[in-house]
Structure 1
């Protein structure tokens, strides 16, 4: 069919410059494309539905790996650093992906309107899961993508489709996970509040006791719940945020290695270089020299 999702994404990305990600006129809708298998890349995932339209990839959050392929989607419920790699792609059949970012306000409104809303999970579980991309959820994404051809309809129709997508996620087999994590109820809400504080102040020294106080938990309980949700400790989470921001500063030309280290909170450039090399596989200057400006 000429209007399959793969055809629509490929047609749009064919017309765009660069390597992506590709923004679209529809708010919160982004396309991914790769004509070749890629080396693992570090990035920060935001709460979103990450659909594989064609090809396959894996993503690792902390020590937990998720494999997903065409016909599947990764649901990310909490902002988390990750390592991701496209493992199936070729010039004749490129990897194609669609990202739909969640609007948590809309998600809450939809849940409040449900006659029988899902019971949110009480205990913190991992904020990521893989689900089948089919049925009503797939239909919503397909219609969102088709809106690109009628830009005048986007402000009116896109919000309605987004609300419908929220409905199918909340009423589907993972509804309790979506309610408990995306909507941040119970323990998850308090841990996510601490995650936001850590994200906003990642360049500052962090004390587990302070984060635990934000989450209204004991330090040991907070540490355990944080790791359950993100698959990493608070210090590992902070370190990844710092190194990703330092890389961004250097690739964009806003700082050299030494000044980037200080800007993201390191007091020792040598420690920064060691930890950077451990995460990215090469010292800062050598790593940045291999990256295109788009990597920023």
Structure 2
């Protein structure tokens, strides 16, 4: 697999493409994951990165990949540079088309070798419209039957009739430290409050305010872990006014008080 990943990277040195495209980071740092209105595949070709998720810090090595969901965190941390990743977007229509053709006959397959080989074929034939279309369908099939297939399917089904929620969710990711109301968000999307609230919850699995709270807490956890901020500093930085409320919300989401949670993460990463 390592040889195939190197070949994919080499192709990008001689070809230019908007989809897929290559992302390169030369030093240890945080960077923003792409924000698109379409689902995407983020395949790591070189280096190692870390994602701050609700269930802990997850490491992604060469050959592993992230499938975007509407609640994908905003930042990824490069922990072993140089770092190269391929980003490939899909339309909802492309994914649904493959799902319909499969007619629910989706047999799980945890072998990613076919996926990586098909991505290499896509890069090599990116200027051939016919081949590109069919290879993309094969890649979608690989993803649907892969280890993250079930989550991918659920995310796509939720978004099928709620494309506009992607934009609002991205706005929340950019502005989660600010105070806003559901009424403000509904106006931004030209919807009634009840319609917007229902659509958002169906697509994201939580209310807009719950989404904001989760983003604040994830960022506070990152700040305490990476920059050694204390609890009060982190809470205020992400927009909390009440430290006691921050502590209650933090324990409810992560299962432990802030200090204990960070101590456990530090111990695991020694």
Q: Partners in 1 of 2:24 and 2:215 — Cα distance?
A: 29
CA pair 5-109 structure 1, distance change in 2 beyond 3 A: same
> Which residue among 19, 30, 41 is the counterpart of 1:49?
41
> Counterpart of 2:5?
5
The Cα offsets for residues 171-201 of structure 1, whole Å up to 9 and x where unpaired, read as 33433222111232xxx76887545445479
> Counterpart of 1:206?
181
**The 10-residue stretch of structure 1 (70-79 or 40-49) with the greater mean CA deviation from structure 2:** 40-49
The Cα offsets for residues 229-250 of structure 1, whole Å up to 9 and x where unpaired, read as x9x83335898xxxxxxxxxxx
CA pair 61-79 structure 1, distance change in 2 beyond 3 A: same
Structure 1 regions of 5+ residues with no counterpart?
Answer: 16-22, 120-130, 240-273, 280-296
SS of 1:66 mapped into structure 2: strand
Q: Contact between 1:140 and 1:161, CA under 8 Å: does it hold in 2?
A: yes
SS of 2:75 mapped into structure 1: strand
CA pair 33-109 structure 1, distance change in 2 beyond 3 A: same
Structure 2 regions of 5+ residues with no counterpart?
Answer: 187-192, 217-232, 239-270
Task: Give the superposition deviation at 1:64.
Answer: 5.2
> Which residue among 13, 25, 30 is the counterpart of 1:40?
30
Q: Contact between 1:52 and 1:72, CA under 8 Å: does it hold in 2?
A: yes
CA RMSD of aligned residues (A): 4.4
The Cα offsets for residues 245-275 of structure 1, whole Å up to 9 and x where unpaired, read as xxxxxxxxxxxxxxxxxxxxxxxxxxxxx99
> Which residue among 198, 201, 211 is the counterpart of 1:216?
198
Q: Is 2:126 the counterpart of 1:139?
A: no
TM-score by length of 1: 0.54
CA pair 98-197 structure 1, distance change in 2 beyond 3 A: closer
Task: Give the superposition deviation at 1:167.
Answer: 1.4
Task: Give the superposition deviation at 1:99.
Answer: 1.1
TM-score by length of 2: 0.59
Q: Contact between 2:30 and 2:77, CA under 8 Å: does it hold in 1?
A: yes
Q: Contact between 1:78 and 1:181, CA under 8 Å: does it hold in 2?
A: yes
Q: Is 2:31 the counterpart of 1:31?
A: no
Q: Partners in 2 of 1:96 and 1:157 — Cα distance?
A: 25
> Counterpart of 1:109?
97
Task: Give the superposition deviation at 1:4.
Answer: 3.0
> Which residue among 90, 99, 123 is the counterpart of 2:87?
99
> Counterpart of 1:287?
none
> Between Structure 1 and Structure 2, which shows a larger proportion of helix residues?
2
> Which residue among 129, 150, 155 is the counterpart of 1:181?
155
The Cα offsets for residues 195-243 of structure 1, whole Å up to 9 and x where unpaired, read as 54454798894327956632438x9x7799327xx9x83335898xxxx
Q: Contact between 1:118 and 1:170, CA under 8 Å: does it hold in 2?
A: yes
